[in-house]
Structure 1
């Protein structure tokens, strides 16, 4: 529960001067006097004001001489972001600091203050986990893994597993190349359910601060994932690849080994990046297999349609 004045402070807005408290964020249909809703355009603003919500977060660009003067409106730069901010603050941590009795904790494990370890979790010897982390049911964290603060690891994720690296002998047999490096997960990373991230072979795999990884993603050994990267479900990143800060990877993206996805590059769903390929252009959208700039991809589709 929070006073409306506090809500305005959270989102960097001026005090609307309306008394009252809110307890939840909500959609329009089921909003009540203690609910917060948001509006990004004139149509959604009309719906928000027609609801019973106590607070309406609205994009400031909608504010003008003819804009409504409803005292419930809190004008913000980005209503969606402000809505998410309020949701997090109202929800709080959402977990308590404890270790479930069915969790298996190895020797020399360090758990930071405020961290929660859920049922069936396995944390091997020597792992270090920072403060205020939430490690959910049946996640497995192998030795050689270091996790920063405020990291969320969803159910069934496997961190620091052995990489898929083999050397072929003259007779055709495969021998595993040493997989004895480590995995470093920086602060404020979120890792989805049943996602797997391999340790480095001789060096390290690193997941940068603020990166968000969806369910069913695989990241191979020796990969470097930058800060504030978004990776959607069923993406696979082969070993020794680099994804730089702010990149966005859509669902089912496939990246070959030793490839580079540059800063701010956007790979559309199902895009494929060949081994060793370097994709650059901040804000540039790439699509297709192999991935190419969206304009080229659409031209190729048009040519195929004419055949």
Structure 2
């Protein structure tokens, strides 16, 4: 529960009336808003709708709300971010619990205030930090290291053997040793049915604050930096690197030993060839193979003209 003054403090905002009496318990969409809810408005038309709602607090930018004096307003720089901050503050804390159906090896170390759901399997030597939330049917293979406040949604598999083979002279295949580590740093979120392989001889590492959507696969020996966004159905082949702050859209494919530099943005469906290195913070790459957006659009225009 929060007051309007507390919400203004959390969001570094300015309340039109810090004396407004309210008890805010949740964030809400406009259609479901009541006096106990916070809503946000990023555009003028959305603000008009918010002002007509029953919401207890309205987060809006000073640019569009400066002429309004509604006592429910809190003026912020980025309403969407402010709304997320409030939602995080009001989200119930993780309740420490282990479902009776979870299978946890006796050598695994589980931190405090961690919630482990039904059907979870945690292997030998796993180390898991504090305040983690582990969804139903998650599998954490032996030796995986997980930091604090990590959220893993249902069905994810962490630390499976990587897909690496040596070819015999007769054409058959023998698995290359897959005995490395998997390290998941603090504040990582992993979506449902995603899979992250352990390293072969080294380690696979997911940097702090990275958010991984549903149905993502990350191969062995990959290094994913801090605060990376990876959208659904993306596949990253072994020994590839995605550096800090990069954004990968849905269905991106990366070949092995490829690199996506810090702050690079890959549009949905982009393909990065094996060994390719893409750099340029804030630069958008699109297409298969991925190339700068302007070049991709020029190529598309040429194709549409038939030459």
TM-score of the aligned structures, taking structure 2 as reference length:
0.97
**Cα deviation, residue 63, structure 1:** 4.6
Q: Distance in 2 between matches of 1:42 and 1:197?
A: 43
Query: Contact 2:14/2:76 (CA < 8 Å) preserved in 1?
Result: no
Q: How many residues align?
A: 304
Find runs of 4+ consecutive structure 1 residues off by over 3 angstroms. Answer: none
Query: Contact 2:13/2:77 (CA < 8 Å) preserved in 1?
Result: no
Residues 1-307 of structure 1 aligned to structure 2 (within 5 Å): 1-15=1-15, 16-17=17-18, 18-64=20-66, 67-93=67-93, 95-307=94-306
Q: Secondary structure at the match of 1:74?
A: strand
**Cα deviation, residue 156, structure 1:** 0.4
Q: Secondary structure at the match of 1:21?
A: coil
Q: Secondary structure at the match of 2:21?
A: coil
Query: Contact 1:181/1:202 (CA < 8 Å) preserved in 2?
Result: yes
**Cα deviation, residue 169, structure 1:** 1.4
**Cα deviation, residue 36, structure 1:** 0.8
CA RMSD of aligned residues (A): 1.0
Q: Secondary structure at the match of 2:118?
A: coil
Q: Deviations for 1:26-83, whole angstroms, at most 9, x for unmatched residues?
A: 122222122111011211111111111111100133254xx11111110111100111
**Cα deviation, residue 267, structure 1:** 0.5
Query: Contact 1:144/1:181 (CA < 8 Å) preserved in 2?
Result: no
Q: Deviations for 1:202-235, whole angstroms, at most 9, x for unmatched residues?
A: 1100000000000000000000000000000000
**Cα deviation, residue 14, structure 1:** 3.7
Q: Distance in 2 between matches of 1:299 and 1:102?
A: 56
Q: Distance in 2 between matches of 1:164 and 1:231?
A: 21
Query: Contact 2:117/2:136 (CA < 8 Å) preserved in 1?
Result: yes
Q: Distance in 1 between matches of 2:191 and 2:31?
A: 30
Q: Distance in 2 between matches of 1:116 and 1:258?
A: 36
Query: Contact 1:25/1:83 (CA < 8 Å) preserved in 2?
Result: yes
Query: Contact 1:104/1:121 (CA < 8 Å) preserved in 2?
Result: yes
Q: Distance in 2 between matches of 1:33 and 1:139?
A: 38
Moved more, 12-21 or 295-304: 12-21
Q: Secondary structure at the match of 1:44?
A: helix
TM-score of the aligned structures, taking structure 1 as reference length:
0.97
**Cα deviation, residue 25, structure 1:** 1.3
Q: Deviations for 1:8-30, whole angstroms, at most 9, x for unmatched residues?
A: 22112245321221122112222
Q: Secondary structure at the match of 1:301?
A: helix
Which runs of 5 or more structure 1 residues have no equivalent in the other structure? none
